[in-house]
């Protein structure tokens, strides 16, 4: 939620062409998803009339006695104005494309969900999507429970337990088409993306807290100035005291990216011993022996954790890798990999056909679905 002055500034920013690519993607894709069927059938005069109606509703929301407004209303007002100003000529072609796309994808693939395998220190494996809610196991003074909303929670029941094994580690692994949240014994929260794994001790003892990551995860690290928290992946180590950050360390990606939302972190390359200190809004990029940082819109990096696919000038190959992980599909390229880039946002809880249909609206790429394989065509 935003206040009135923030909303007005956002409208002015969009209409003056000063929005970031992420802001434009959010607004314009939201319009296509929510309003395409209605507004593509309107004439220019009807669209302008619609704009006045939405504007009137916004004026009511801006009444001094009301301090909040709905993002969807602002997005509607902005985009209707944008289209009413001249882009309505797009409507016939887009409407035809949408109808054709709906007919094309006869077979569909559902999105992923909360799926993971927990491996205990004794080797026992527990399928978290099959396990009942409630207590799963007890080990070394720690109670492990599964919540109804798909979280794995570690709770210290006996901090003085003499059975604690310093070498006892658990592992949580998500398959393709899976994700999971885990609350570690120190209170740190971790969201694990598809095709990822996190190895961690059953209890954080000694002078440090250390976990190992493969794939992608978002961390909200519990503050403890006496015990640094380290995330070790194949190419780097990230060290923090208490902060929020995202690490993308998939082996099939060209680089490892660490994005900081809050606090500060130190990113250290294993190959060169070079390190960087990140501040909020910074992203480190580690590729081969090169380690550098840049300023980014952090919303893009954590969109997956917030239930979205967000693409900002992203290559088709990169997008398809994300879809392959989340929908558990294979991807074939019929005519090589297109050089097009895409910008847009769509819920990752849509069926795969809706995501592909949004990409096809660009007219630069087309798709076919057969069984669990998506074929990319020109």
Give percent of the chain with pLDDT exceeding 90.
53
**Domain co-membership, 334 together with 261:** no
Quick one: how far is CA 88 from the chain centroid?
32
Q: Which of 99, 136, 96 is nearest to 120 (CA)?
A: 136
69 close to 1: Cβ distance less than 8 angstroms: yes
**Domain co-membership, 61 together with 100:** yes
**Domain co-membership, 228 together with 353:** no
> How many whole angstroms separate alpha carbon 61 and alpha carbon 36?
24
**Domain co-membership, 60 together with 197:** no
Taking each helix axis from N to C end, the angle separating 316-327 and 352-360, rounded to the nearest 10 degrees, works out to 170
**Domain co-membership, 150 together with 268:** yes
pLDDT tens-digit series, residues 260-313: 999 999 999 998 889 999 999 999 999 988 999 999 999 999 999 999 999 999
**Domain co-membership, 128 together with 269:** yes
In sequence order, the 6+-apart residues with CB closer than 8 A to the CB of 121 are: 139, 165, 168, 169, 170, 202
Q: What is the DSSP string of 235-289?
A: SEEEEESS-EEEEEE-TTSSSEEEEEEES-EEEEETTT--EEEE-TTEEEEEETT
141 close to 123: Cβ distance less than 8 angstroms: no
HEC secondary structure over 184-206: CCCCCEEEECCCEEEEEECCCCC
**Is the per-residue pLDDT at 358 higher than 50?**
yes
**Domain co-membership, 81 together with 210:** no
| Residues constituting the chain | 378
> How many whole angstroms separate alpha carbon 270 and alpha carbon 251?
15
What's the structural domain count of the chain?
A: 3
**Domain co-membership, 290 together with 152:** yes
**Is the per-residue pLDDT at 124 higher than 90?**
yes
Q: What is the CATH number of the domain that holds 360?
A: 3.55.50.30
Tell me how far CA of residue 3 lies from CA of 11, 12, 61, 79, 299, in angstroms. Answer: 13, 15, 10, 20, 20
**Domain co-membership, 185 together with 263:** yes
**Domain co-membership, 282 together with 177:** yes
Mean local confidence (pLDDT), 216-235 = 95
**Domain co-membership, 91 together with 176:** no
The per-residue pLDDT for 37 is 46
The three-class DSSP label of residue 338 is coil
Pairing relationship of beta strands 282-287 and 256-262 according to DSSP bridges: antiparallel
Tell me how far CA of residue 22 lies from CA of 48, 65, 303, 317, 322, in angstroms. Answer: 26, 31, 11, 19, 18
112 close to 178: Cβ distance less than 8 angstroms: yes
Domain boundary at 266, 300, 334, which?
A: 300
Domain boundary at 249, 277, 300, which?
A: 300
**Domain co-membership, 73 together with 184:** no
pLDDT tens-digit series, residues 320-339: 999 999 999 999 998 777 67
Q: What is the CATH number of the domain that holds 267?
A: 2.60.120.1440
pLDDT tens-digit series, residues 148-171: 888 999 988 876 654 556 678 999
The per-residue pLDDT for 136 is 94
185 close to 202: Cβ distance less than 8 angstroms: yes
Domain span at residue 81 reads: 4-104
Domain boundary at 254, 272, 300, which?
A: 300
Top pLDDT among 93 and 253 is at 253
């Amino acid at each position: 939620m935003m206040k009135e002055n923030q909303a007005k500034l956002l409208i002015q920013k969009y209409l003056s062409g000063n929005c970031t690519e992420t802001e434009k993607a959010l607004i314009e894709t939201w319009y296509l998803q929510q309003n395409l069927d209605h507004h593509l059938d309107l004439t220019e005069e009807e669209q302008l009339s619609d704009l006045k109606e939405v504007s009137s509703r916004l004026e009511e929301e801006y009444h001094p006695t009301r301090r909040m407004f709905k993002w969807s209303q602002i997005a509607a007002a902005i985009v209707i104005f944008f289209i009413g100003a001249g882009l309505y000529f797009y409507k016939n072609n887009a409407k035809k494309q949408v109808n054709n796309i709906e007919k094309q994808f006869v077979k569909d693939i559902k999105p992923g969900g909360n799926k993971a395998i927990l491996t205990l220190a004794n080797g026992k494996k527990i399928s978290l999507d099959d396990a009942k809610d409630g207590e799963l196991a007890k080990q070394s003074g720690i109670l492990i429970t599964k919540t109804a909303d798909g979280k794995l929670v570690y709770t210290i029941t006996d901090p003085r337990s003499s059975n604690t094994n310093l070498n006892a580690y658990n592992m949580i692994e998500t398959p393709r088409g899976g994700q999971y949240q885990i609350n570690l014994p120190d209170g740190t929260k971790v969201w694990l993306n598809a095709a990822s794994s996190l190895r961690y001790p059953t209890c954080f003892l000694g002078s440090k807290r250390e976990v190992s990551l493969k794939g992608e995860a978002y961390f909200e690290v519990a503050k403890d100035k006496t015990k640094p928290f380290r995330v070790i992946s194949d190419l780097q180590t990230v060290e923090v005291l208490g902060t929020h950050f995202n690490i993308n360390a998939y082996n099939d990606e060209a680089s490892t990216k660490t994005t900081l939302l809050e606090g500060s972190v130190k990113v250290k390359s294993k190959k060169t011993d070079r390190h960087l200190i990140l501040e909020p809004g910074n992203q480190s990029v580690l590729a081969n022996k090169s380690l550098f940082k840049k300023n980014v819109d952090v919303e893009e990096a954590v969109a997956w954790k917030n239930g979205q696919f967000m693409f900002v000038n992203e290559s088709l190959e990169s997008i398809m890798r994300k879809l392959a992980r989340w929908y558990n599909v294979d991807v074939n390229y019929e005519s090589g990999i297109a050089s097009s880039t895409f910008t847009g946002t769509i819920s990752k809880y849509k069926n795969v056909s809706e995501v592909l249909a949004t990409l096809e609206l660009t007219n630069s790429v087309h798709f076919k679905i057969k069984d669990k394989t998506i074929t990319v065509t020109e």
